[in-house]
Structure 1
Amino acid sequence: MVYKILVVEDSPVVQNVLKHLLSQLTVYVPIVCSCYKEAEATLASQNGDEFFAAIVDLNLPDATNGEVVDLVLESGVSCIVLTGNFNDDLRLELLNKGVLDYITKDSRYSFDHVMKVIERLRKNQHIKALVADDSHTSRLFVKTLLEQYRFNVVEAEDGQQALAKLEEDPEIRLFITDHNMPLINGYDLVRMLRHNNRFKDLVVIGLSTGHNSALSAKFIKAGANDFLKKPFYHEEFHCRITHNLESQEMLETIRDLANIDVLTKLKNRRYLFDEGESFYQQALSHGDGGGFAMIDIDHFKFVNDTYGHMIGDSLLELVGKEISLAFPESLTCRFGGEEFCVVSNESDDVFEQKLVDFQASLRTKEFTGAKIKVTCSIGVCHQKQDSLDDAVRVADKKLYEAKNNGRDRIELD
Structure 2
Amino acid sequence: MSDLDVMVDTPGLGDQITVMICENSQVQLRILSKAVEEAGYCVQTARSAEAVLEQMQIRPADILLTGIEVGPMTGLEACWALKANPRTESVHTIVITASGQERRLEESLDAGAYDFIRKPVNMTELRARLRAASRLVRMQKQFRKLAETDSLTGTANRRALMQCLEAEIAQARSQGTQVAVVMLDLDHFKRVNDTHGHAIGDRVLVATVKAVQACLPGRERLGRLGGEEFVAVLPDATPEFAAIMAERIRQAVAALQVTNNLGEVVPITASIGVSISSADGQHDTPDSLLLAADDALYEAKENGRNRVVFAGTTMRGTRRAAG
Question: TM-score category by the smaller chain?
Answer: 0.7 to 0.9
Which protein shows a greater Rg? 1
Is the Cα contact below 8 Å between 1:177 and 1:206 reproduced in 2?
yes
- Change beyond 3 A, Cα 1:184–1:335: closer
Equivalent residue in structure 1 for 2:113, among 224, 228, 233: 224
Could you tell me how far 1:254 is from its partner in structure 2? 2.2
Q: 3-state DSSP class of the match of 2:268?
A: coil
CA distance in 2 between counterparts of 1:120 and 1:253 reads 15
Alpha carbons of 1:203 and 1:332: their partners in 2 closer, same or farther (altered >3 Å)? same
1:317 matches 2:186: no
Contact 1:129 1:172 in 2 (8 A): yes
Secondary structure, counterpart of 1:294 in structure 2 = strand
**One-letter code of the match for 1:236?**
E
Residue type matched to 2:146 in 1?
L
Q: Give the structure-2-normalised TM-score.
A: 0.80
Which SS does the other structure have where 2:117 is aligned? strand
Once the two structures are TM-superposed, the CA of residue 247 in structure 1 deviates from its matched residue by 1.7
Counterpart position of 1:394? 292
When structure 1 is superposed on structure 2, of 143-152 and 324-333 the one drifting more is 324-333
- Once the two structures are overlaid, the 10-residue window that deviates more, 205-214 or 344-353, is 205-214
The Cα of 1:286 is off from its aligned counterpart by 5.7
Partner of 1:407: 305
Consecutive unaligned residues of structure 2, counting only runs of 5 or more, are 312-323
Inter-partner Cα distance in structure 2 for 1:367 and 1:289 = 35
Residue in 2 that maps onto 1:334: 224
Match of 2:256 among 365, 372, 383: 365
- Aligned 1:122-133 pairs, distance under 5 A: 122-123=13-14, 126-133=16-23
Report the residue type matching 1:312 in the other structure.
G
Q: 2:96 aligns with which of 187, 200, 207?
A: 207
Task: Name the aligned partner's letter for residue 366 of structure 1.
Answer: Q
Structure 1 pair 149–164 and aligned structure 2 pair: CA distance change class (3 A): same
After superposition, residues 249-264 of structure 1 pair within 5 angstroms as 249-264=138-153
Deviation at 1:308, TM superposition (A): 1.4
Contact residue 11 and residue 134 of structure 2 kept, 8 A: no
1:176 maps onto 2:70 in alignment: no
Does structure 1 retain, via aligned residues, the 8 Å contact 2:83–2:90? Answer: no
- How far does the alpha carbon of each residue in 1:365-386 deviate from its partner, in whole angstroms, 9 at most, with x for none? 3025644331111122347464
Residues in 2 aligned to 1:287 and 1:368: alpha-carbon distance in whole angstroms: 45
Distance in 2 (CA, whole Å) between partners of 1:135 and 1:284 is 36
The percentage of aligned residue pairs carrying the same residue is 27
User: Match of 1:121, SS?
Assistant: coil
Out of 251-260 and 180-189, give the one that drifted further. 180-189
Spell out structure 1 runs of 4+ moving beyond 6 A. 115-118
Q: What is the CA–CA distance in structure 1 between the aligned matches of 2:73 and 2:303, rounded to whole Å?
A: 63
Q: CA deviation at 1:298?
A: 1.3
CA contact (8 A) 1:266 1:324 kept: no
Q: Is the 8 A contact 1:216 1:228 kept in 2?
A: no
How far off is 1:348 after superposition? 0.7
Do 1:303 and 1:312's aligned partners in 2 also have CA atoms closer than 8 Å? Answer: yes
- 8 Å CA contact 1:283, 1:344 repeated in 2: no
Task: Report how many aligned residue pairs link the two structures.
Answer: 302
Offset from partner CA, 1:59-109 (integer Å, 9 cap, x none): xxxxxxxxxxxxxxxxxxxxxxxxxxxxxxxxxxxxxxxxxxxxxxxxxxx
Quote how far apart the aligned CAs of 1:323 are. Answer: 1.8
Q: Equivalent residue for 1:32? A: none
Q: Give the alignment partner of residue 242 of structure 1, picking from 128, 131, 143.
A: 131
The Cα RMSD (Å) is 3.1
Tell me if structure 1 keeps the 8 A contact 2:60–2:88: no
SS at match of 1:199: coil
Once residues 319 and 235 of structure 1 are traced to their aligned partners in structure 2, the CA distance between those partners, rounded to angstroms, is 50
Secondary structure of the residue aligned to 1:261 is: coil
Distance (whole Å) between structure 1 residues aligned to residue 179 and residue 173 of structure 2: 5
| Structure 1 unaligned regions, length at least 5 | 1-20, 26-111
Distance 1:295 1:284, change over 3 A: farther
Local SS of the residue matching 2:29? helix
Quick one: structure 1 residues 284 and 298, their matched pair in 2 at CA, closer, same or farther if it must change by over 3 Å?
farther
Q: Are the aligned partners of 2:67 and 2:96 in contact in 1 as well (CA < 8 Å)? A: yes
CA distance in 2, matches of 1:288, 1:233: 47
Name the structure 2 match of 1:302.
Answer: 191
* Cα drift, residue 158 of structure 1: 4.3
**Cα distance change on mapping 1:117 and 1:145 into 2, 3 Å:** farther
Contact kept? 1:294, 1:342, Cα under 8 Å? yes
Give the drift of 1:164. Answer: 4.7
Write the distance in 2 (CA, Å) between the matches of 1:287 and 1:206: 36
CA gap of 1:358–1:204, structure 2 versus 1, over 3 A, is same
